[in-house]
Amino acid sequence: MMSSSSVITQVLETDIWVKATWKEFLNFAEDVTWEKGKFYYYQEQIKVEMSPVGPLHGHQHSILSSVVSLFATLKNIRVVQLINASFRKTGIHEFQPDLAYYIGSDLRVPPNDSNSPVDLNEYDPPNLVIEIGASSFDDDLGSKRLLYEDAGISEYWVDRANRQEVFAFAINGGGSGRIQESRVLPGLEIALVEEALNRSQTQDDGEITRWLIQTFNQG
């Protein structure tokens, strides 16, 4: 069996999925030395993403957040946003998406009184999860997509950051299919999300926000 130290070394050197026990994963994930890492555990494998986040990722993160929050606000849809939060089902899986949303009023939403991973044995998983990636894009569509299918997420978006493309999937019964309009935010077309990302190449955030408000109010 691979020791905890060898798991840590290999993961940090290669940034790939590595065989590990749940105990080894916890030893790694709870080590404050790696507190800036993003952690995933699925099918007895661990992955940590330690790549630096620059303006490409950071700005698109901001735009996607604005699109979802503004749409929900103007359509009177209850929404709770969590940024880079960890979600844990002990012994089974853990994930830390860029953005996660609880949308609607019928979900058990975790309170804001703890910095520990959200316990998915006690609270519901978020029903919308978003990953933003360029080098991680293939994995976002592959292993992470399978992870979110098994975790009971309702909808999953992948932003291919270097192309301003959004791949959205509705998840049902452990499988997923591509969609062009959000199911958890009815009326929000994925093409509009992509347009907001494309506008960010030439427009500032204020211009994009005003355009979004005008567009959503017309719908």
Q: Which two tokens stand for residue 1?
A: 């069996």
Closest CA to 20 of 2, 40, 33: 2
- For the segment 25-68, what is each residue's pLDDT rounded down to a tens digit? 998 888 767 777 889 999 999 998 876 567 888 899 999 999 99
Residue 128, H or E segment: strand 128-133
d(CA 30, CA 44): 17
pLDDT tens sequence across 102-161: 999 999 999 988 889 999 999 999 999 999 987 788 899 999 999 999 999 999 999 998
Residue type, 95: F
Q: Which CATH architecture has domain 53-218?
A: Alpha-Beta Complex (3.90)
Rounded to two decimals, the pTM is 0.90
Residue among 32, 35, 6, 31 nearest 19 (CA): 6
Burial of 113 (0-12, 13-18, 19+ CB in 10 A): exposed
What does the domain layout of the chain look like in residue ranges?
1-50, 53-218
User: Rounded mean pLDDT of the chain?
Assistant: 90
23/40 Cα distance (integer angstroms): 14
Answer yes or no: are the C-beta atoms of 87 and 112 closer than 8 Å: no
